[in-house]
Structure 1
Amino acid sequence: MRAVRLHGPGDVRVESVEVPSPVANGQVRLRMRSVGICGSDLHHYREGSTGGNAPDSPLVLGHEIAAEVPPESADTLGLEAGTLVAVDPAHPCRRCEWCERGHPNLCPHVEFKGVEAHRGGLTEYLMAYPDEIIPVPKSFDADTTALLEPLGVAIHALDLAKLRVMDTVAVLGAGPIGLLCAQVAQAVGAGSCYVVDPLEYRTEMAADLGADAVATDLSAIEEWTSGRGVDVVIEATNDPKGIGDALHSVRIGGDVVLVGIPEGNEHILTASTARRKGATVKWSRRMGHVYPRAIRMVQSGRVAIDPLITHRFPLSESPEALALQSRYDDGVIKAAVYQEAGL
């Protein structure tokens, strides 16, 4: 079968690999339907790693995964063949201190698809543990199902923000995660939600999805809030200065949640600004078990996922999908990779 493997920065190849066994090591085989290209995939593509975690061998990328249950796995899972499922990419140990404290997203022993030695979803068939497999409503298509994962990341970020009804929120970065964070913030009671991104086509998308105000320049937040700053900032960029921008934009005593992964694995901030603001800063790490809420949010119509996928590529053209999204060309928000019919 074919798999999309990263050999180094900018070196992505569609290669032949062995088809996995139907059942192995407690996992079952699924057929890939759709995989979204994530910002962390782009870190791997551009830098060869995400946050310094470089793979030891060619890595199969992709962790925003929709799959279907093939006939050989149906009985094992108790699902009908052809059932569309989301695949939670994280498999925590469920035994360590952090798992027992209710923070499986912080498990140091987690197996996470598309990172280090763990094969991701950009392949014809993938393996998953039964507890990672989430059947979705029949009204969902494969692309919507794949994007439940980044929606879960957005939900977790807003959980960390402890948003109060009518709080003002600024989202820095209007990529897929930022656009989802803005929608979730409004769904859970934000009074006003502002979105800032240097790319105008992305701020236009944010406005189309309901943001109260958008801008390409950070200074707009001062104007919108008469210099007070917002109650909550969600930082969802890859800019090392993003943390500094967030602290500049938040009110005194406000809350900042860092979702974006900075290029170069470093944050840059002005210490005096951070100290004088007295803000609470939280780093967001993936998500907990939020798929049920993500599904309900989509079903309710409070969050629109479909507009985020602006480009679709067959599995054979995955390198082109990564290259396009890395260049921010052609108005791309999110590229999705699908498996061609009959394969």
Structure 2
Amino acid sequence: MSRALYLHGAYDARVAPFNLREGQPGEVLLDVAAVGLCGSDLHYYKDGGIGSATIREPFVPGHEFGGYLCEALPEQGLAAGALVAVDPNRACGTCEFCHRGHFNLCPNVKFIGAPPFDGAMTGRIWVPTSQVVALPEGMTPLEAVMLEPLGVAIHAVDLAKPRLLERVALIGCGPIGLLILQVLKVAGAGEIVAVDPQAHRREAAAKLGAAHVGADLSIVREVTGRTGCDLVVEATNSPDGFRDAVLAAKIGGRVVMVGIPDGDVYTLPAAETRRRGLKIKFARRMGEVYPRAIELVTRRKVDVASMVTHEVGLDEAPRAFQRHAESAPGVIKTLIYPNR
């Protein structure tokens, strides 16, 4: 019998036996190669849910993953044993929002690793063949895992539409923020002013090309002469993230909100927002971005490995969740190898 990491509720992660369900028509079985501990997994751990998606019974998280095919998919040109990635988002395809092309916003989505749908923090998982993403020869399990968060970053930058050489304030330098930083540079953004309270994350942002880094918004005021930036991208887990993004923005500026706040609540000074006349967008998941994510990795335009600070087996996974919840020094991204 295989095992899995279960979330039972807030701050309750346990490894226990896992009964693999029967496969359904149109599904293929994967041996999980690796799975990322994502910020949304952490919200399920810390808050017991995200909005209406709450833990009502123990479930297995994990939506950033790659795996080895247990059987061939000849219609996709894939042999048994091939390493593949998986798009966790299965939109219904029939609702009003899907017809508008907003598959990432589908209210009827079946999302692998979000309750009640078990995810990949286990040894084997059945996935729809339509969600299997073929990978080029030589791609590693780590890179396969990081395609999903990189896709989130690509979608955020698509929404941001950075102008050539435009200065950008980046609020939050966790894994998504660091990926956004790199995609912004590929997209032609100018100086990036990165803000994060943790020194090791600021250091990572500087190594990846941020022109200025600081622990708080004083760095934005210093660099811009207190006027703020035309474009601000927020990627924190803080209820103050929206406030900080507003305060970092120039009058008439644009803000893209990517992070999910702890407690599912934002704090926001209304007058500061109104008086700036800001244009605000919210990012949720991603669109059809895997081909671009794969190209960015294979062409070495984005370094996905540098932010992976911890790699652990399944038995160490509960402690990994705890480390992330405590914002332990040195922690940016953890990968879990369930079959190690």
Q: TM-score, normalised by structure 2?
A: 0.96
1:48 paired residue number: 48
Where 2:285 maps in the other structure, the secondary structure is coil
1:337 paired residue number: 336
1:78 offset after TM fit, Å? 4.4
1:58 offset after TM fit, Å? 0.8
1:11 offset after TM fit, Å? 1.1
Deviations 1:223-248 (A, max 9, x none): 11112211111111111111111111
Does the CA-based 8 Å contact 1:155-1:184 persist in structure 2? yes
1:14 paired residue number: 15
- RMSD of aligned Cα (Å): 1.4
Where 1:147 maps in the other structure, the secondary structure is helix
Does the CA-based 8 Å contact 2:32-2:339 persist in structure 1? no
1:144 offset after TM fit, Å? 1.1
How many angstroms apart in 1 are the aligned matches of 2:41 and 2:325? Answer: 9
Percentage of identical aligned residues: 44
For residues 47-86 of structure 1, the aligned pairs below 5 Å read 47-71=47-71, 73-74=72-73, 78-86=77-85
Where 2:233 maps in the other structure, the secondary structure is strand
How many angstroms apart in 2 are the aligned matches of 1:29 and 1:75? Answer: 14
How many angstroms apart in 1 are the aligned matches of 2:189 and 2:73? Answer: 43
Deviations 1:59-89 (A, max 9, x none): 1011111111113x54576411111111111
For residues 119-158 of structure 1, the aligned pairs below 5 Å read 119-158=118-157
1:37 paired residue number: 37
**Distance change in 2, residues 1:259/1:182 (3 Å):** same
Does the CA-based 8 Å contact 2:44-2:55 persist in structure 1? no
Q: Which amino acid aligns with 2:282?
A: W
How many angstroms apart in 1 are the aligned matches of 2:21 and 2:53? Answer: 25
1:299 paired residue number: 298
How many angstroms apart in 2 are the aligned matches of 1:76 and 1:164? Answer: 41
Q: Which amino acid aligns with 2:205?
A: A
Deviations 1:209-236 (A, max 9, x none): 1111111121110111112211111111
Where 1:59 maps in the other structure, the secondary structure is coil
Deviations 1:315-334 (A, max 9, x none): 22211221122222240110
Where 2:306 maps in the other structure, the secondary structure is helix
How many angstroms apart in 1 are the aligned matches of 2:331 and 2:40? Answer: 16
Unaligned runs of at least 5 residues, structure 2? none
Does the CA-based 8 Å contact 1:20-1:29 persist in structure 2? no
Does the CA-based 8 Å contact 1:52-1:265 persist in structure 2? no
1:193 paired residue number: 192
Deviations 1:96-124 (A, max 9, x none): 11111111001010001111211111011
For residues 167-186 of structure 1, the aligned pairs below 5 Å read 167-186=166-185
Q: Which amino acid aligns with 2:98?
A: C
Unaligned runs of at least 5 residues, structure 1? none
Q: Which amino acid aligns with 1:101?
A: R
Q: Which amino acid aligns with 1:95?
A: T
Does the CA-based 8 Å contact 1:237-1:262 persist in structure 2? yes
How many angstroms apart in 1 are the aligned matches of 2:47 and 2:302? Answer: 32
1:25 offset after TM fit, Å? 4.4
Where 2:50 maps in the other structure, the secondary structure is coil
Tell me which moved more, 223-232 or 321-330.
321-330
1:185 offset after TM fit, Å? 0.5
Deviations 1:253-297 (A, max 9, x none): 111011110111111111110001011111111101101110111
Q: Which amino acid aligns with 1:125?
A: R
Does the CA-based 8 Å contact 2:97-2:106 persist in structure 1? yes
1:4 paired residue number: 5
Q: TM-score, normalised by structure 1?
A: 0.96
How many angstroms apart in 2 are the aligned matches of 1:279 and 1:206? Answer: 26
Does the CA-based 8 Å contact 1:51-1:261 persist in structure 2? no
Equivalent residues, number: 339
How many angstroms apart in 2 are the aligned matches of 1:76 and 1:162? Answer: 36
Where 2:53 maps in the other structure, the secondary structure is coil
